[in-house]
């Protein structure tokens, strides 16, 4: 059923004297067929933008977390290498392996 025909059916024969009928008729006549798609497109654009921003946020945080993890693993590897080197270095024969430093007597 046509919107104008439905509007004429609702308002009846005295429709031309009703200002609301005239307003609705003008709106229906001037409204293009694609007008409802503007709303759908606007709402889809809004939610798409929100989704895209959330996606970018997650990607940036994922990259940051990966960067921190890689740096931590690199520092641990350097520390392990330094510990291995200190264990391989020669030590004097009279070393008693104590960590206490000798006290200088004056």
Residue 93 lies in a domain: no
What residue has token string 């960067």?
Answer: 67
Number of domains in the chain: 1
Query: Rounded CA gap, 19 and 27, in Å?
Result: 12
What residue has token string 């308002």?
Answer: 11
Residue 97 lies in a domain: no
Query: Rounded CA gap, 75 and 55, in Å?
Result: 30
Whole-structure pTM value? 0.42
Residue 52 lies in a domain: yes
pLDDT given for residue 98 in this prediction: 62
Query: Rounded CA gap, 40 and 55, in Å?
Result: 22
Residue 103 lies in a domain: no
Give me 41's structure tokens.
């497109």
Residue 15 lies in a domain: yes
Domain that holds residue 52: 3-86
pLDDT given for residue 99 in this prediction: 65
Tens of pLDDT, residue by residue over 10-41, are 888 888 888 888 998 888 888 777 888 999 99
């Amino acid at each position: 059923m046509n919107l104008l025909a439905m509007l004429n059916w609702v308002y009846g024969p005295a429709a031309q004297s009703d200002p609301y009928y005239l307003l609705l008729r003008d709106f229906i006549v001037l409204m293009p067929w694609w007008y409802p798609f503007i709303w759908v497109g606007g709402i889809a654009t809004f939610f798409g933008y929100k989704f895209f921003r959330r996606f970018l946020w997650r990607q940036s945080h994922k990259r940051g977390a990966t960067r921190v993890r890689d740096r931590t693993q690199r520092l641990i590897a350097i520390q392990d290498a330094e510990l291995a080197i200190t264990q391989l270095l020669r030590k004097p024969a009279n070393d008693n392996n104590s960590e206490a430093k000798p006290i200088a007597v004056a």
